[in-house]
Amino acid sequence: MITIKEALTKKEMKDYVMFSFELYKNNPYWIPPIIAEELETFDKTKNPALQTAEAHFYLAYKNGKIVGKVAAIINWEEVNLLEKRKVRFGWFDAIDDIEVTKALLSKVEELGKKHQMDHMEGPMGFSNLDKVGVLSEGFDEMGNMITWYSLPYYITHFEQLGLAKEKEYQESIFSFSNIDPTTFQKFSELVKQRYNLKSLNFTKTKDIMPYVDKMFDLFNETYSKLQSFVPINDIQKNYFKKKYISFINPEFIKFIMDKNDNMIAFAIVMPGFAQALKKANGKLFPFGFYHLLQARKHSKEVVFYLIGVTPEYQSKGVTAIIFDEYYKVCQAKGIETCIRTPELEENHAIHNLWKNFNTRVNKRRRTYRKEL
């Protein structure tokens, strides 16, 4: 018999996080999160996303043992601002037993119906900066800290339970050695001169901080046309600023400014932390922090996290400036592999940016929907 219990105590929330460690303990492709950070993500007193989202964390038990988990989420800003009456589900993991999946998703449906939502969708997090999607291809490819890993039977379970594919995402990878810089170097200088633009480069994190709020404003403007986009509010800006910006190499953050010092484009690239997180296995101490610090300094992989260009300057070649700046940094650091995080299939503008980089789509993922 399967029983479902909401995780409410500190021990239950720790069990919620640790179930994934048990499920994937022998999987070479799963990347473990830092346990303390994962618990902070679920803490209403620490994660500002939970000030505008309602979230419940459920554990499935069978014969007294934890066999699955799911988060049921309503992002009230999405409901009230976008008028999308959706209950989300995320952080889903389960053994290969469709009855476990059915029992967990029934709790998501229950929350949705309680608040008169008209459909459910997932896997997805609280906001647009959280992880998204269940893998449909690329189960034998290494994950990264930006994405969830998942097992092939998840999709089978969802579809057998009446969920239908909603959104498709793709991830890709390319070798730095295959990049031909002549495709953007000359064009970069022409674009700078034509529009009187300049790039800002950094060596110290403290010098980036005065620009971060402008970057998030531009992020909101750039991505606002994508379906289900919910703007980042001021409280969330401060949270992400403290949590992420100081963790990224300052030379991997680029801003493009116009002649009036208005930010018209930004890009964030992260070092590849996958192998370091594997070694840390969820713990910063005694050696996890050392592994992460070494990856920050010496990783030969980079992950292209976010790129945004204000609508006024889209299709004007501004990305050539961004690529030129990153080429210089990556060349100096001896970067070998470049990874792109999940991008919506419908986001053709972002796909066109990479058409000359000989990319290989190595993973696909999707969200699933069910009418309530």
* Number of Cβ atoms within 10 Å of the Cβ of 347: 15
| pLDDT given for residue 4 in this prediction | 98
Q: Which residues pair with 165 in a beta bridge?
A: 368
Residue 227 — pLDDT band, cuts 50, 70, 90?
low
Query: Is pLDDT of 295 > 90?
Result: yes
Closest CA to 136 of 169, 102, 92: 169
pLDDT tens digit sequence for 99-131: 999 999 999 999 999 999 999 999 999 988 899
Q: What does the DSSP assignment read for 100-159?
A: HHHHHHHHHHHHHHHTT-SEEEESB-SSTTS-B-EEEE-TTS---TTS----THHHHHHH
| pLDDT given for residue 228 in this prediction | 66
pLDDT tens digit sequence for 158-175: 999 999 999 999 999 999
| pLDDT given for residue 309 in this prediction | 92
Identity of residue 364: R
Do residues 299 and 271 touch, judged by C-beta distance below 8 A? yes
C-alpha span between 47 and 240 (Å, rounded) = 9
Q: Which residues pair with 321 in a beta bridge?
A: none
Going from the N-terminus, what domains does the chain have, and what CATH number goes with each?
Answer: 2-169 (3.40.630.30), 175-364 (3.40.630.30)
- The predicted model gives 230-258 an average pLDDT of 88
Q: What does the DSSP assignment read for 187-221?
A: HHHHHHHHHT-EEE--S-HHHHHHHHHHHHHHHHH
3-class state of residue 8 by DSSP: coil
Percent of the chain with pLDDT over 70: 99
| pLDDT given for residue 9 in this prediction | 97
| pLDDT given for residue 149 in this prediction | 98
Residue 234 — pLDDT band, cuts 50, 70, 90?
confident
Do residues 116 and 86 touch, judged by C-beta distance below 8 A? no
Do residues 71 and 38 touch, judged by C-beta distance below 8 A? no
C-alpha span between 266 and 213 (Å, rounded) = 12
pLDDT tens digit sequence for 63-86: 999 999 999 999 999 999 889 999
| pLDDT given for residue 58 in this prediction | 98
Per the structure block, which two tokens stand in for 180?
């031909």
Per the structure block, which two tokens stand in for 327?
């080429």
Q: What does the DSSP assignment read for 78-91?
A: HHHHH---EEEEEE
CA 156 to chain centre: 24
Enumerate residues 6+ apart whose C-beta is below 8 A from 39.
13, 14, 17
pLDDT tens digit sequence for 327-350: 999 999 999 999 999 988 887 777
Residue 300 — pLDDT band, cuts 50, 70, 90?
very high
| pLDDT given for residue 347 in this prediction | 78
Q: Answer left, alpha or beta for residue 251, where phi above 0 means left and psi between -120 and 50 means alpha.
A: alpha
Model pTM score: 0.94
Residue 183 — pLDDT band, cuts 50, 70, 90?
confident
Q: What is the mean pLDDT of the chain?
A: 94
Residue 25 — pLDDT band, cuts 50, 70, 90?
very high
